[in-house]
């Protein structure tokens, strides 16, 4: 879902850095082979994730929801020397695709892939402190994931949550359960004194959160 109209989206993509060749291929293959290819971050959002990562220069990144690894690779572009991405994907059928895509982008040594339920995996990573986190998994759990990881983020670190405008429904009259969950997420974080926050109208809405 794109919040921005097609002409503006096209203009923005034409005036940011080009999509790297490996990511172009992953983008194309995702749309050819995956059942829900619109889950992929895509060119413009990918450049945003890369830019944010490069500004933070993280040693350790946490990603919840890997899909085909497009966003993972974008985030890895900003890693500090010796840095790592810990990425969690619940769908075991994606494992081979992910390993191939990470090798295609030559980032396999910088990415640690975990297959399983995010809550279970996070329990095993409880000793880690992260510089940046990206939440893009099952939407009903976004607030739970935020609450699970906020204490794992260093002061000054970022949490990025995708799809927070939810097809534009959050600021409309929709009353369905998913929309209400996104409103609760956005409203809860809006009043949190632990963080600074800003929603960017990129694709389906990107919430950028800085821990104080």
Using CA atoms, how far apart are residues 60 and 86, in angstroms rounded to an integer? 7
d(CA 65, CA 88): 6
Is 131 within the bounds of a domain? yes
Residue 85 is assigned to a structural domain of this protein:
yes
In angstroms, the Cα distances linking 93 to 42, 63, 115, 182 are 21, 18, 10, 28
| Phi-psi label, residue 65: left if phi above 0, alpha if psi -120 to 50, beta otherwise | left
Instruction: Output the CA torsion sign for 208, 65, 108, 59.
Output: positive
The tokens for 17 are 């850095």
Residues 111-158 have pLDDT tens digits of: 999 999 999 999 999 899 999 999 999 888 999 999 999 999 999 999
Domain range spanning residue 125?
6-211
Q: Are 135 and 65 in contact (CB under 8 A)?
A: yes
The CATH number given to whatever domain includes residue 58 is 3.40.50.150
pLDDT at 3 over 80: no
* The pLDDT value given to residue 26: 98
Domain annotation covers residue 179 = yes
Give percent above pLDDT 70 in the chain: 99
Residue 195 lies in a domain: yes
Q: Report if residue 118 sits inside a domain.
A: yes
Give me the pLDDT at residue 4, please.
Answer: 83
- Residue 175: the pLDDT is 92
Residue 176 lies in a domain: yes
Specify the pLDDT at position 126: 87
Let me know if residue 162 belongs to a domain.
Answer: yes
Sign of torsion, CA 125 52 50 188? positive
Q: How many structural domains is the chain composed of?
A: 1
Phi and psi (nearest 5°) for 142?
Answer: -55, -45
Residue 18's SS3 state is coil
The DSSP annotation for 84-152 comes to EEEEEES-GGGHHHHHHHHHHTT-GGGEEEEES-HHHHHHHTTT--EEEEEE-S-GGGHHHHHHHHGGG
34 exposure class (CB count in 10 Å sphere: 0-12, 13-18, 19+)? middle
Q: What is the pLDDT of residues 68-79, one digit of tens each?
A: 999 999 999 999
pLDDT tens-digit map of 93-114: 999 999 999 999 999 999 999 9
pLDDT digits (tens, 9 = 90+) for 14-64: 999 999 999 999 999 999 999 999 999 999 999 999 999 999 999 999 999
Query: 1 pLDDT exceeds 80?
Result: no
Q: Within a domain: residue 1?
A: no
* 8 A C-beta contact, residue 146 and residue 115: no
Q: Please give the model's pTM, rounded to 2 decimal places.
A: 0.96
């Amino acid at each position: 879902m794109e919040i921005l109209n097609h002409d503006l989206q096209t203009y923005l993509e034409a005036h940011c850095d080009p999509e790297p060749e490996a990511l172009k291929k992953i983008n194309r293959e995702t749309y050819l082979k995956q059942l829900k290819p619109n889950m992929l971050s895509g060119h413009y959002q990918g450049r945003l994730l890369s830019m944010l990562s490069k500004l933070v220069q993280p040693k350790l990144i946490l990603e919840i929801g890997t899909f085909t690894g497009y966003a993972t690779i974008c985030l890895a572009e900003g890693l500090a020397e010796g840095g790592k991405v810990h990425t969690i994907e619940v769908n075991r059928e994606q494992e081979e695709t992910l390993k191939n895509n990470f090798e295609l982008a030559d980032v396999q040594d910088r990415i640690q892939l975990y297959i399983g339920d995010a809550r279970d995996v996070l329990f095993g990573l409880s000793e880690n402190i992260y510089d940046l986190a990206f939440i893009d998994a099952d939407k009903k759990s976004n607030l739970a994931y935020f609450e699970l990881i906020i204490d794992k983020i260093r002061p000054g670190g970022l949490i990025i949550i995708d799809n927070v405008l939810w097809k534009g429904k959050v600021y409309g009259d929709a009353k369905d359960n998913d929309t209400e969950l996104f409103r609760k997420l956005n409203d809860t974080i809006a009043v949190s004194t632990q963080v600074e926050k800003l929603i960017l109208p990129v694709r389906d809405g990107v919430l950028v959160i800085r821990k104080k």
